[in-house]
Amino acid sequence: MSRKRIFEVVEKAAVTDKVSIAYDLAMIVVIVISLVPLAFKEDTVVLKVIDKTTVAIFIVDYILRWVTADYKLKDKGALSFLRYPFTTMALIDLLSILPSLTLLNSGFKALRILRMIRAMRVLRVFKTMRYSRSFAIIGRVLMSSKKSLMAVGILAGGYIIASALIIYNVEPDSFATFFDAIYWATVSLTTVGYGDIYPVSTMGRLITMFSSIFGIAIVALPAGIITAGYMTEVQKFDETEAKQKQGDE
């Protein structure tokens, strides 16, 4: 099998490439199975076998993608092989593999942070982004709407800091630290309101009411941006698939 064909198989499947579609489905199944050990506190023999087997498959997949990087990163030539390990998805692949390697596990046990390394295996969930049409569309939406989303994010961040500063000075007895005020402002902005930290004075409650009402508007903005972008990208995606099918016919 040529490198170009390997690239076509391991990359997101074309609508008419049955081998690539089968590969994508198989990888999704492997990713789901690889997450099973994380649902148990103790490592049994079966769970260890599942982990080692799935990681071996991930390593092969990572190598195949690396050796065909020049097809993915076009116009980069030999530099493609140097750049690929630093791409977003390649880093996710690598971070989902490393925690399961025996050598790393032994070293990190000595540092008593094995639980954190174990939790990093959850990153395997993000590997499904390669094989899901919905994830691909959402990725495009986020990229095309990044300026609008960044503006909303800056607005939300500024409002959280401003609200925290106000409430921290209005009710210093209710908030032991400024971080507590930041935490309160965040849950108020998102209208979650856990109730573990809350103002007790009339002025503090008025500020909370205003923060919650204003928070609804801020939280709704990114939802609207993403929804509008998603519908546009779905339409483009459907048109592209239709053209591919017509071309194959």
What residues of the chain score a pLDDT lower than 50? 103-104, 107-115
What's residue 118's pLDDT? 54
pLDDT tens, residue by residue, 35-59: 888 778 777 899 889 988 988 998 9
* Residue ranges of the chain assigned to CATH 1.10.287.70: 146-248
* Residue ranges of the chain assigned to CATH 1.20.120: 3-131
- CATH architecture entry for 146-248: Orthogonal Bundle (1.10)
DSSP string for residues in 98-157: GGG-HHHHHHHHHTT-HHHHHHGGGGGGGGGGGT-HHHHHHHHHHHHTHHHHHHHHHHHH
Residue range 3-131, CATH number: 1.20.120
